[in-house]
Amino acid sequence: ASVCVIGQGYVGLTLAAACAVEGFRVTGIDVDEGRVDALARGELVVPGVEEPLFVQASESSSLRFASDFEDVATADVVVICVPTPVTDHRPDLSMVESAARQVGERLRRGALVVLESTTYPGTTEHVVAPLLERARFRAGRDFWLAFSPERIDPGNIKFGLRTTPRVVGGIEQDSTDLAAAFYGSVVDNVFPVSGCRTAEMAKLLENTFRMVNIALVNELAVLCGEQGIDTWEVIEAAATKPFGFMPFQPGPGVGGHCIPLDPTYLAWQSRRDTGRPFRLVELAQDINAEMPAYVTRRISDALAERGVALPKARILALGVTYKPDVGDLRESAAVATLAQLDRRGARITYHDPFVPRLRSHGMSLRRTPLTRANIEAADAVVVLTPHSEYDLAAITRHARLVFDARNALHQRGDDRVVTL
C-alpha cells in the first residue's frame, strides 16, 4: 500500500520513516524544498527524529520525498502532520487548510485521510472534510477520514512511535476501523474512540492537564517562597504518595510548541462554541505568564541581600531554550525572564550550548563563553534551563551568587545558592 505523509517535521518524518520500514511505499511531502532535497540526500535535517529509524528508512527503496502533491493521486493513505500554531491567541489552521485543499484535488476514491495536527474539536469534520469532499465524493462513503493525535516526544528513548499508544477516531465507524488498521502496522497499541471530536479533545486534555498542573506548582512556589517553605521539598514529599499524585516542577514558566499552545485551542473553542471561557486554562496561563516577573523579583531580592541593586547588576544566565537539551527557543520562559531582567536594567550575559545568538524581546546578545573569569565577574549566575552538559557544582564554586530557578543544583545550606 502507498502512504503520503504531508509535513516532514519530527512528527511527519518519524511516521514516514516508520511506514517505510514496515514496507509501505511512502512519500514524505513538504513545501520546504530545501528540506525535501536534504532528506532525499539522506541528510537528517529534522531534529527530534531517531537517527537509526531514518537511516533504515532511507536505505529502504520505499521512502521518497517530494515538494509537490502528485503522489497523493495514487495513495491509499494520506496523513496530514503540518503545524497548527497559535497566533494572537487564535488557532491558525492555515497550513492544515492548505494541505487539505492540495489533497482534496487529487484524492483517490477509497483512500484514507488522517489528520494528526493538534487542533480543537470539530476541525476534522467541519474544516478538513469540506476541503476534501466534492460532488459525489463524500467522507465516510467514497473516502475515509479520521483524526489521530501525535504523541511524539523528541529524544524520549523509552517511548517512540511504536511503543506509544495511539488514539484514533473516525468520521464514522469504517473510517475508525481503517485508521486503526493502518496505525496497527506501526504502533503496538491502538485505542479506537467513537469519533473525531473525542480524539481531538483527548489530545487537548493530555496537554492541558500538564499545563494546569505546572501552574499549580508555580502558584504554590510563590506562596511557599513567601513563607520560607522549600517548595521542592514539599513536592518531593507529596510525590511519595504512590497513587493519585504526579509531581511537576515550578520554574520560570511554560515554553515549547505543545504545552503553551494546546490549551489555547481548548479555551478558544470553548468561548467560540459555548460562549463560556475555559476558566482553568485561562487562569493557569495567567499564572504561568507571571513567573518570569516573579523569578526576576526573587533574583532582585537575593542581590539586594548582598547589597547589589538589580539595575546595572551583572547577570550571567545559564540556558535559554524552553527546556534542557532541546535546541528550541519557542515560547521559552527563560527568554521571557531575561527580558524582564533586561527591562529592570540588569547587564545580561548568557550561555546556552544551542544558542549562539539571542535576538528576542528587544535584546540582541551573543553567547558568553562559560569561563571562570566570566562566572566570577557576575553578581549573580542564574540557572534558567539546566542543560545536562553544565557542571553546576563547578560553576557554583566560582560564583558569588547562584539563583537556581529549576532546583537543578539540589543544593541546600550554601548561602551563595538561592533556589526559586
Quick one: 97 or 206, whose CB is closer to ligand SAJ? 206
**81 classed as catalytic:** no
Applying CB under 6 A, what is the total number of residues that bind ligand SAJ? 19
Quick one: 27 or 208, whose CB is closer to ligand SAJ? 208
Does residue 330 belong to the site contacting ligand SAJ (CB under 6 A)? no
State how far the Cα of 239 lies from the Cα of 245, in Å rounded to an integer: 6
Q: Report which residue's Cβ sits closest to ligand SAJ.
A: 256
- Helical H segments across 26-77, by residue range: 33-40, 51-59
By DSSP bridging, strand 166-170 and strand 144-147 are antiparallel
Q: Return the residue of 39, 93, 139, 151 that touches ligand SAJ, per CB under 6 A.
A: 151
Cell numbers placing 15: 511516521
Q: How far is the CB of 81 from ligand SAJ (least distance, A)?
A: 12
Q: How far is the CB of 249 from ligand SAJ (least distance, A)?
A: 4
Q: Return the residue of 21, 204, 329, 333 that touches ligand SAJ, per CB under 6 A.
A: 333
Q: How far is the CB of 236 from ligand SAJ (least distance, A)?
A: 13
User: CB atoms < 10 A from the CB of 327, how many?
Assistant: 13
Does residue 54 belong to the site contacting ligand SAJ (CB under 6 A)? no
Cell numbers placing 360: 528576542
Quick one: 107 or 333, whose CB is closer to ligand SAJ? 333
| Contact assessment for residue 45 and residue 84, using Cβ atoms and an 8 Å cutoff | no
Does residue 48 belong to the site contacting ligand SAJ (CB under 6 A)? no
User: CB atoms < 10 A from the CB of 377, how many?
Assistant: 14
Identify the burial level of 275 via C-beta atoms within 10 angstroms of its C-beta, where 0-12 means exposed, 13-18 middle and 19 or more buried: exposed
Q: Return the residue of 214, 266, 313, 408 that touches ligand SAJ, per CB under 6 A.
A: 214
Amino acid at 139: A
- Subset of 153-182 contacting ligand SAJ (CB under 6 A): 153
Q: Return the residue of 190, 259, 380, 408 that touches ligand SAJ, per CB under 6 A.
A: 259
Task: For residue 241, give the 3-state DSSP assignment.
Answer: coil
Binding segment toward ligand SAJ, per CB under 6 A, in 82-90, 250-258, 274-282, 375-383: 250-258
Does residue 298 belong to the site contacting ligand SAJ (CB under 6 A)? no
Bridge partner residues of 2 (DSSP)? 25
Closest CA relative to residue 249, chosen from 235, 229, 263: 235
Distance of CA 196 to the CA centre of its chain: 22
Q: How far is the CB of 42 from ligand SAJ (least distance, A)?
A: 26
Q: How far is the CB of 411 from ligand SAJ (least distance, A)?
A: 19
| Contact assessment for residue 351 and residue 317, using Cβ atoms and an 8 Å cutoff | yes
Q: Return the residue of 185, 248, 282, 360 that touches ligand SAJ, per CB under 6 A.
A: 248
Binding segment toward ligand SAJ, per CB under 6 A, in 144-152, 300-308, 362-370, 392-400: 144-152
Contacts of 19 by beta carbon, 8 Å cutoff, 6+ apart: 3, 5, 26, 185, 186
State how far the Cα of 120 lies from the Cα of 147, in Å rounded to an integer: 11
Cell numbers placing 284: 493557569
Binding footprint of ligand SAJ on the chain (CB under 6 A): 150-153, 206-207, 210, 214, 248-249, 251, 254-256, 258-259, 322-323, 333
Write out the catalytic residue numbers. Answer: 258
